[in-house]
Amino acid sequence: MIKYNQIESTLWKTTEALSLSAESIKMLFENKIPLVRIEKFATPQECEALVTQANLLGFDVYQNVTPKIERIGITVFEYNNIGKEDYFQAVERARKEQYRITSASFNPLERLMATMQNQTGRTVRIASESSWGSYHAGLTRKIEEGTQLHIDYAPTEQLGWEVSKVVAQLAWNLYLQISLNDSGKTYIYDRQWHPGDETYKLDSYGYNNAVVSGASSLNFQPQVGDVYIFNTRNYHTVEPIKGQRVTFTSAIGLLPNDEIIFWS
Ligand SMILES: O=C(O)CCC(=O)C(=O)O
Ligand SMILES: [Fe+2]
């Protein structure tokens, strides 16, 4: 029986990134490993074409988030305050915007979902709700000033949304444009969120560093074209970069019936 609610630190059996397989994804959901990496998921040309289109379309900034994070696409995180109805009304427009970016190159979301389906043999689909329809999945995102220490975990953050039924949550990021100068690394801690942690919460999403004191961590410097997948119930942070840092990303959740869902 898989235990998703273990909260002890030092659960990881390795500090290496593993390649994508049914087994590595299972271990990532269980927080037994820190990272899955798909090398050369996309070519430099494919990534560059996505960035060119995204820049033509223009990025919006995340609401209520400091330091600044820019994105194209909509997030349940931001619509928590605005309302679920508005989120589902915005889905179609977000999908059209995404098509304008991906039609000039390729659709990273479709490629990743197909890869996951092939590797895991599980049902892989976009999250949906019977009364509202499909969620949006896939952001083009710029994190250049870094993030606060945070988690992304629908069972605590998206109460009242169907995605809150997931029993484990990951994020995948395809790195589209990265200035390689030893900055902009992603740090992941071997410490998962649990309810008592809310006393460490600082604002809309950041947590005090004390919450990870004593926990082991790892960091990685992404390369253009690579996908990294990690468990976002684990505290994580992105350091500021000197230059550009653009990704294509979404959340991945595991439902109790073993289906894998994607949303943003
Ligand atoms: O950009 C990254 O490396 C990770 C960003 C992040 O916090 C996430 O994908 O949940
Ligand atoms: Fe995150």
Average of per-residue pLDDT across 152-178 = 97
* Domain annotation covers residue 89: yes
Report if residue 5 sits inside a domain: no
Whether 193 is covered by a domain: the verdict is yes
Q: How far is the CA of 144 from the centre of ligand 1 (A)?
A: 11
Ligand 2 centroid – CA 153 distance (Å): 9
Domain region containing 134: 17-263
User: Around Cβ 171, how many Cβ atoms within 10 Å?
Assistant: 17
Residue 228 sits in a domain whose CATH number is 2.60.120.620
Provide long-range contacts, Cβ within 8 A and 24+ apart, for 154-162.
154/76, 154/251, 154/253, 156/193, 156/195, 157/76, 157/77, 157/80, 158/76, 158/77, 158/80, 160/84, 161/76, 161/84, 161/129, 162/127, 162/128, 162/129
Per-residue pLDDT band for 1 (boundaries 50, 70, 90) equals: very low
Mutate which of 144, 238, 239, 246 for ligand 1 pocket (most atoms within 8 A of beta carbon): 238
Q: Is residue 75 part of a domain?
A: yes
Q: In Å, how far from its chain's centre is CA 224?
A: 17
Indicate the burial class of 19 (C-beta count within 10 angstroms; 0-12, 13-18, 19 or more): exposed
Q: How many domains does the chain have?
A: 1
pLDDT tens-digit map of 110-160: 999 999 999 999 999 999 999 999 999 999 999 999 999 999 999 999 999
Do the domain assignments include residue 56? yes
Question: Does the residue 12 lie in any domain?
Answer: no
Query: Is residue 70 within a helix (H) or strand (E), and if so which, with residue range?
Result: strand 70-72
Residue 8 in any domain: the answer is: no
